[in-house]
Structures are given as structure tokens and as C-alpha cells.
Structure 1
Amino acid sequence: MTDAYRGPAVVVLGDVEHHALVDLSIHRDSEWGRISLQSWDGVVDAAPEIDWFNSPEADEVTLRMPDGREGRFVATAGALGSGQVEICGTGPAPFGDF
């Protein structure tokens, strides 16, 4: 089972696409041998001019993987102007095995 992805992706912020490198992982909690909770998070390294926190589109960010799968996320930490932010996925992971 693939629980991680490291490589290229596209960040869609509003109507603008930004090429990025990502380092992502899926976290699964098990209860009695069954998966009861799944979340995903990681780091996005993209253009330093992206305003992850004050842009009106910042709550509408999509991550598009090379295979076309997409997932929504929010930026949770990072320094303005660095281009690198920590993220938390807000739905199904756009990578990994289902």
C-alpha cells in the first residue's frame, strides 16, 4: 500500500496554476484491524510569491497530481515569501492506493 508521494504536482489557487514539488503522506489509524480514520498532509514547495494565507482564494486550493487525481488542502504553516508551506488535506488523498 502506497502511503507517500514525493515529486511534482500542480497547485491550483483560484484560476492560476503553479508548478510545485510536494512531499506528502497518508496517515491511517486502525481499530480492531480495520482502518477507522485516514488523513493526509505534507509540504508543498512552490513559487515564493504565492500568498497562502491572505489570498481570497486561499481556502479554495487544489492539488493536482501527475495522474490527474486532485485533492483539496489548506496551508497550515509556513513563512511568507518562502514558497514552502505545510499543508493538511481536506478530503480524500489524491495519491496512494485506495
Structure 2
Amino acid sequence: MTTYQGPVTVVGSDVEATMQADLSVRARDQTKIWSGQLSGYEDADMFKVLTSDTAVMRLPDGREGRFVLEGKLVPGQTSVGVLGSGPPPF
């Protein structure tokens, strides 16, 4: 299993915010998917990401991956689940 823990820049709508990520790749059937958690964000920034058509996660080395948020965003929560789309950026 491939993992990444560290800072990421999340870009969505008109937001570009630095957050902490805890991500991993796992096999589902015969397909590899990536997912994890984002933390260390401002509620207003994450709401804008949630309502954007496309959210992108950028690692410090410049690699990027598209993702969607999993579940509902509740004000004041400390982390949110993400599900990647396409190849993992790590």
C-alpha cells in the first residue's frame, strides 16, 4: 500500500489553501483507488471546495490529483474524508 502524510495545497473554486493530508492507495476489486483525510483547514475554505465542480490536491513536489469530499461537511469538524479520481498524486 502506498501512503502520503504531509502538507497539500487544495485548489477548488476560488480557494487555494494549505492543509494536512493522510492518504493511501488500496485495491478495490482489480482497481486501485486513493482516499484519505484532510485536516487543518478553515471551514469557509472547505465549504468553497465542497461546492466547486473540480477540486485538485497539489503535493509539495507539484504532482496533482482530482478528488471529491466524502460525507457531509459539518462546521467545526477537524477532518474530512476525500476520495481521489484518477491516478494518485503520491
TM-score normalised to the size of structure 2? 0.83
Residue 12 of structure 2 corresponds to which residue in structure 1? 13
TM-score normalised to the size of structure 1? 0.77
SS state at 1:93 partner: coil
Residue identity in the other structure for 1:91: G
SS state at 1:92 partner: coil
Residue 36 of structure 2 corresponds to which residue in structure 1? 42
- Which runs of no fewer than 5 residues in structure 2 stay unpaired? none
Distance in 2 (CA, whole Å) between partners of 1:37 and 1:86 is: 20
**Identical aligned pairs, as a percentage?**
35
User: Alignment length, in residue pairs?
Assistant: 86
- Which runs of no fewer than 5 residues in structure 1 stay unpaired? 31-35
Residue 68 of structure 2 corresponds to which residue in structure 1? 74
The equivalent position to 2:81 in structure 1, one of 86, 90, 98, is 86
Distance in 2 (CA, whole Å) between partners of 1:37 and 1:70 is: 19
Displacement of 1:83: 5.2
Q: Give the CA RMSD over aligned residues.
A: 1.9
